[in-house]
Amino acid sequence: MNNKRILAWARPEILALKPYQSAREEFVGGDREMILLDANESPFENGMNRYPDPMQGKLKKRLAEAKNISENQIYLGNGSDEVLNQLMVSFCVPKKDKAVILPPTFGMYKVCADINQIKTIKVPLTKNFELDVESILKAQTKTTKMVFIPSPNNPTGNCFNVNDIRKVVKNFDGFVVVDEAYVEFANEKSVLPWLSEFDNLIVVQTFSKAQGMAGVRLGMAFAHETVIELLNKLKAPYNINSLTQDAVLKRLKEQGLVTQQVQQILQEKERLLEELSNITFIKKIYPSDANFFLLKVDNSSIRYKELINRDIVVRNPSKQIGCSNTLRITVGTYEENNALISAFKTMEV
Ligand SMILES: Cc1ncc(COP(=O)(O)O)c(C=O)c1O
């Protein structure tokens, strides 16, 4: 199904691109046992001697069932980092098009834009770290191809007001990429069901956070079929390796455990926040819908170093707009969180 508006947004070079045809895509063998002499692989079976399924059919089938969407609406990448980059490559013309980002925000949006020579237009969040919908919509021009909305947001940890996100999706004349890396931790539901309403919505999710599989590198884009067709055109032929596909298929059967771990992390977050609220140099704890939270402290550089001296690494996002003297802290295990609490308690006021 070709959507005219989406095709008009695509880069002409990508539309014209004749993708590399990988060996395994050239025939449809169905259930037949084939002798594979087409891809110059080693014939000696060791479980890994064959190229992986280039279109990740089995995995996409399971994901489609789990997410209640069509397999043709799924693109898989080497972490969502790569998915974000591929979106820019597909739709943003270098040195001409622009992307809107909403600081304080996830740093990779600007990095991907810089790599692809795409200018970023910054529309800061409001004082309460909410979307400034009016300014986002005002920032639109003919060359603003996409806006990146991470919800829950990184580094602030909050979900954006869902009606605000909807207003942007409805009125932005370009793609709205809703990055739901932390959605499993939030009370707010995913905006995935909106895909049936909006052809300009792209939802990005990952196996790196709640799913506990940062090491396998699997990111997902869910979008209109025409978007997915374009992304498929430019992907490396065997972009998701066999180990990753197998590990994620296995993880999809362990969702009970994932839910249990998410609950445990959320309980630990409550305990941590309760304990940290008694530390006098912590000036503010921002509301969090994620597995991390943002703290305002008296001096973030000093507190960051003091934690390093106590063998604890956190993030210091203080250079970002609206984040001066803040620390971003991930919720760890019970023991790790105890170590963090003790470390804070031993620091000088
Ligand atoms: C909002 C957001 N999006 C995407 C990512 C990248 O995730 P992945 O591991 O899937 O590349 C992160 C990682 O921190 C993130 O915070």
Q: What's the pLDDT tens digit per position in 187-241? A: 999 999 999 999 999 999 999 999 999 999 999 999 999 999 999 999 999 999 9
Ligand 1 binding pocket mutation candidate from 110, 148, 179 (most atoms within 8 A of CB)? 179
Does residue 206 have its Cβ closer than 6 Å to ligand 1?
Answer: yes
Residue 136 sits in the same domain as residue 199: yes
Residue 193 sits in the same domain as residue 106: yes
Of 315, 311, 285, the C-alpha closest to 300 is 315
Residue 272 sits in the same domain as residue 124: no
Residue 105 sits in the same domain as residue 183: yes
Q: What's the pLDDT tens digit per position in 175-202? A: 999 999 999 999 999 999 999 999 999 9
Q: What is the pTM of this model?
A: 0.97
CATH number at residue 298: 3.90.1150.10
| Domain stop point among 231, 253, 275 | 253
Centroid of ligand 1 to alpha carbon of 148 (angstroms): 12
| Domain stop point among 202, 232, 253 | 253
φ and ψ of 329, to 5 deg: -125, 130
Hey, whose CA ends up nearest to atom 2 of ligand 1? 181
Residue 147 sits in the same domain as residue 270: no
Does residue 153 have its Cβ closer than 6 Å to ligand 1?
Answer: no
Cα–Cα dist 38/44, whole Å: 15
Centroid of ligand 1 to alpha carbon of 37 (angstroms): 39
Residue 168 sits in the same domain as residue 299: no
Centroid of ligand 1 to alpha carbon of 110 (angstroms): 13
| Domain stop point among 228, 253, 278 | 253
Residue 272 sits in the same domain as residue 226: no
pLDDT of residue 300: 98
Of 136, 142, 143, 140, the C-alpha closest to 98 is 143
Q: Which residues of the chain have pLDDT under 50?
A: none
Number of structural domains (the chain) is: 2
Q: Which atom of ligand 1 is nearest to the CA of 219?
A: 10
| Six-digit token string for 136 | 């986002």
Of 90, 85, 87, the C-alpha closest to 17 is 90
Residue 233 sits in the same domain as residue 305: no
pLDDT of residue 349: 80
Cα–Cα dist 330/265, whole Å: 10
Domain that holds residue 290: 256-346
Residue 232 sits in the same domain as residue 99: yes
Residue 109 sits in the same domain as residue 88: yes
Q: Which atom of ligand 1 is nearest to the CA of 84?
A: 4
Cα–Cα dist 100/171, whole Å: 14
Asked whether 294 and 155 are in contact (CB, 8 A), the reply is yes
Cα–Cα dist 121/143, whole Å: 11
Does residue 317 have its Cβ closer than 6 Å to ligand 1?
Answer: no
Residue 123 sits in the same domain as residue 208: yes
Residue 105 sits in the same domain as residue 210: yes
Does residue 181 have its Cβ closer than 6 Å to ligand 1?
Answer: yes
φ and ψ of 144, to 5 deg: -85, 100
φ and ψ of 131, to 5 deg: -70, 135
CATH number at residue 236: 3.40.640.10
